[in-house]
Structure 1
Amino acid sequence: MHALIPFPEISPEIFSISIGGASFALRWYALAYIAGILIAWRLAVMAVTRPALWPGQTAPMQPKQVEDLITWIILGVVLGGRLGFVLFYQPAYYLANPMEILLIWQGGMAFHGGLLGVVVASWVYATLNNIPKIQMADLVAHTVAPGLMLGRLANFINAELWGRATTLPWGVAFPGRAAQNCGQAVGDICARHPSQLYEAALEGLVLGALILFLVYRRHAFLRPGLVVGVFLAGYGCARFLVEFFRQPDFQFVSLGNPLGLAWHINGYGLTQGQALSLPMIALGVYFVLRARSVHSKEARA
């Protein structure tokens, strides 16, 4: 008999109220978004008010500009995340049901799409306000990890995006569909990897701590592009690794493809999450090497 961890009974709703027959609820996932944005704002303001962190003792933005940028980033996250889910994961379904693209409250957001949305929104804002783009990218990248960690914790509370079946002692007995047809069971109960917690630890805690260490102890902002490179490569590697333990997206699973590989040859290939992470890793490595090269040339000059 293998050990397992019962899923904690935490309601996805923190509280709900009824006003005039209408019900309003605050959910953990919404709170994670709000808290992540507030933390990102405070980290960015703290960074731009410390000139010594930046080349030439000059921050790329003023605190008021950070507040304006946050609004653009929120739009980028929501629009990019939704369109990314539509295009990367269920294009055929939404092509047949285009009006459902607007129903964001029913779920369906993709991190890689949200990232692209943030890149576009930040690029436009930087262009309109004549802000150095690479330095602003570093500023934004160093604020993201706490929100990622909170979002993954909310995924766990919501019992969504769970992992593959496991007989390991820390397997979690998730409720609902997760308990059905998982292939491996502990007695009559299906246990799965808590892959949301793996991602919270790697993408949020570990990556976030590394980036803050580089910024405040190794003066990483003095090498434009280094922080955004570490973030892209670090997130890409973390997501690529966790995909081995995460339950594949249902639309890619079939009798001939039980591992849910989006791209495969004779059963060997990549999940959709891994395929989307590879360009992030490559781009991150490019930015890191570029930052080191530029810094070396400046040091020799």
Structure 2
Amino acid sequence: MPQELLLPFPNIDPIAFAIGPFAVRWYALGYLFGVGLGAAYGYLLLANTRLWHKGEPPFAAKDIWDFAFWTMLAIVIGGRVGYVLFYNLPYYLANPVEIINTLDGGMSYHGGMLGLMLAVILFTRFKGNGNWLSGLDLIASVSTIGIFLVRIANFINAELYGAPTTLPWGVVFPTDPEQLPRHPSQLYEAALEGLLLFLVIRIFTHVFYSLRRPGMVAGIFGIGYGLSRIAVEFVRLPDEQIGYLYGGWLTMGMVLSVPLVLAGLALVVWAATRRESLVRG
């Protein structure tokens, strides 16, 4: 393919800044700013009590900053445990000390999501008698911010790129040993799982007042994220140590996303068919 038809890789240094031997990477900043901006947006949602079922958010707006700390722990621990279990268990069983070595970059989104779900359920119970389903709705409303930023960081790191393509926006990543134009699958995920899903959920929370039906927004997130991830997996290269499952086109990302879609559908149906009516305020 002629080089002028390719999308040039920006070659941004993965290290955002360094102070002496201490280096801060864009990937870490993606998580930090994702949690920080998500907490700020969550504060606005929690403070607007008219959005919530019976005017009762899962916990007080001021408590979102405490939950931000829980969020970081849940994402890191859940993401790492998920990667170990879902993506490279034989290796870590043989090398258990490597489980705590997060410098290899092994993190699973689905594991982080499960950790975050558990954290918000426990935090909601810890802070009072709030509805834990509304807690899931809260993290569904804000987590797309972090997804967007981390996928952009994946692109900067030139990792998790896609299969070869002849499309004009194919990117030649510097980390690709074959130096072929490839799908910028990180940007696809940032656009679908991050930006588009945020806008969709925003419509449901502020136009249809779906936070008044506990579980509805969490279900919409599950459906939206799961379908977006499955779609991108068709053009994203699978993890090298796993490859395509059953010798075909199926990937671990697809396998882990199917239950998410099904759970999302179940939540939406359950929330929509509850007897309590939706009252606009």
Please give the range of the TM-score, normalised by the shorter of the 2 chains. over 0.9
8 Å Cα contact 2:83/2:106 also seen in 1:
yes
Offset, 1:269: 5.3
Q: Equivalent residues in 2 for 1:239-278 (5 A)?
A: 239-252=229-242, 260-262=243-245, 264=246, 267-268=247-248, 270-278=250-258
Match of 1:58 among 34, 56, 59: 56
Per the alignment, residue 138 of structure 2 pairs with 139
Partner of 2:105: 107
Distance, in Å, in 2 between the alignment partners of 1:53 and 1:45 is 13
Summarize deviations over 1:254-298 as a string: whole Å, max 9, x none.
xxxxxx322x2xx4452100000000000000111111101xx22
Number of aligned positions between the proteins: 275
Q: Does the CA contact (< 8 Å) of 2:223 and 2:264 recur in 1?
A: yes
Preserved contact between residue 179 and residue 191 of structure 1 (Cα < 8 Å): no
TM-score by length of structure 1 reads 0.88
Q: Which moved more, 1:110-119 or 1:6-15?
A: 6-15
In the alignment, structure 2 segments of 5+ residues that lack a partner are none
1:222-269 deviations in Å (ceiling 9; x for gaps): 1111100000110000000000010111012xxxxxxx322x2xx445
Moved over 6 A (4+): none
| 39, 44, 58: which one aligns with 1:41 | 39
Q: After the TM superposition, which residues 81-230 of structure 1 pair with which residues of structure 2 at under 5 Å, given as runs?
A: 81-129=79-127, 130-176=129-175, 178-180=176-178, 189-230=179-220
From the CA coordinates, give the structure whose radius of gyration is larger. Answer: 1
TM-score (norm 2): 0.94
Give the distance between the partners of 1:25 and 1:34, measured in 2 at CA.
Answer: 15
Distance 1:4 1:229 in 2: 38
Contact 2:59 2:124 in 1 (8 A): no
Q: Is the 8 A contact 2:57 2:130 kept in 1?
A: no
In structure 1, give the amino acid aligned to 2:19: I
Q: How many percent identity over aligned positions?
A: 44
Q: Which runs of 5+ in 1 are unaligned?
A: 181-188, 253-259
Cα-to-partner distance string for 1:158-200 (whole Å, 9 max, x where unaligned): 0000000111111101012x242xxxxxxxx411100000000
2:16 matched to 1:14?
Answer: yes
Which amino acid is 1:25 matched to? Answer: A
Instruction: For residue 149 of structure 1, report the CA deviation from its aligned partner.
Output: 0.4
